[in-house]
Every structure is written in C-alpha cells, then in structure tokens.
C-alpha cells in the first residue's frame, strides 16, 4: 500500500487527513453485532493537486474543507446497518472521490473492540479517481 503513495500522479498534491475519527455505527454480520452499535475508527487521506488546494487569499473556499470528510462519513453511517467493513470502507472512499478536487483517497476502518488479544481489526483501501 505504501508504494502506491510514491505514484507520480501524487507528486504535486497536498494530502489532507482525518486521523482516528471515532464513530459508533451498526456494523457486523453476526447476530450480536446487529443488536448494538460498534465503535469504528476511521482514517482518511485525500490527495488534491496543489493547483486546486493552495490558497492565495487565505480563504476556506480555496481549499477542501475538513468538514467534507466528517460529513461524508456521518452521511454514510446514518443509512442503516452495514454488514462488512469492506463495504463501509469502499462506500466512504467512493464518496470521497466524488469531490471535484480530490484525485485519490485512502480510507481505513478499524473495529477496536472485536478481540481482546489485539488492538483492532480493519480494512484499508486506496483508489485513484476514474478519469
């Protein structure tokens, strides 16, 4: 996954990130998971060409607002039960790529409360916008 970050298309990009965003959502395939919300930790990286994300007037509308990431995640989370982290992760990365300035995105999800003998289990996906 890290080798992809050296891709030439990302050379002149700014990386915006959202780290360790904690939400509670209905996710899981097991019956006990369908009865209560679970804690999920998300990390998001957005890659935006510097020409589209370098402010000249120090104004918010010149860049991609961090709220976009949080609101996109909240919107998907409120659409009902999700069986798989893979589905959730794919939906989030797809939604991030809908932003007109974003050319690539990395999203990871982790469920930290699944097993007592490890920190978390999760999924990560990286995608370029289809041109």
Residue ranges of domains in the chain? 2-128
pLDDT value for 2: 62
Among 93, 108, 114, CA closest to 39: 114
Tens digit of pLDDT for each residue in 63-85?
Answer: 999 999 999 999 999 999 999 99
pLDDT value for 59: 92
pLDDT value for 3: 64
Share of the chain above pLDDT 70, in %: 95
Tens digit of pLDDT for each residue in 53-63?
Answer: 899 999 999 99
Q: Give this prediction's pTM.
A: 0.90
How many residues are there in the chain?
131
pLDDT value for 44: 98
Q: How far apart are CA 81 and CA 27, in angstroms?
A: 6
Q: How far apart are CA 33 and CA 41, in angstroms?
A: 16
Class (C level, CATH) for 2-128 = alpha beta
């Amino acid at each position: 996954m890290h080798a992809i970050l050296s891709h030439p298309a990302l050379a002149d990009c700014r990386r915006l990130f959202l780290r360790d965003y904690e939400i509670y959502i209905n996710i899981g395939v097991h019956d006990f998971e369908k009865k209560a919300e679970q804690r999920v930790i998300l990390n998001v990286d957005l890659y935006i060409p510097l020409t589209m994300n370098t402010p000249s007037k120090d104004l918010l509308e010149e860049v991609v607002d961090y709220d976009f990431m949080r609101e996109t995640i909240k919107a998907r989370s409120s659409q009902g039960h999700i069986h798989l982290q893979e589905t959730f992760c794919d939906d989030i990365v797809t939604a991030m790529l809908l932003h007109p300035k974003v050319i690539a995105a990395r999203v990871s999800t982790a469920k930290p409360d699944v097993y007592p003998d490890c920190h978390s289990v999760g999924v990560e996906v990286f995608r370029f916008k289809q041109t």
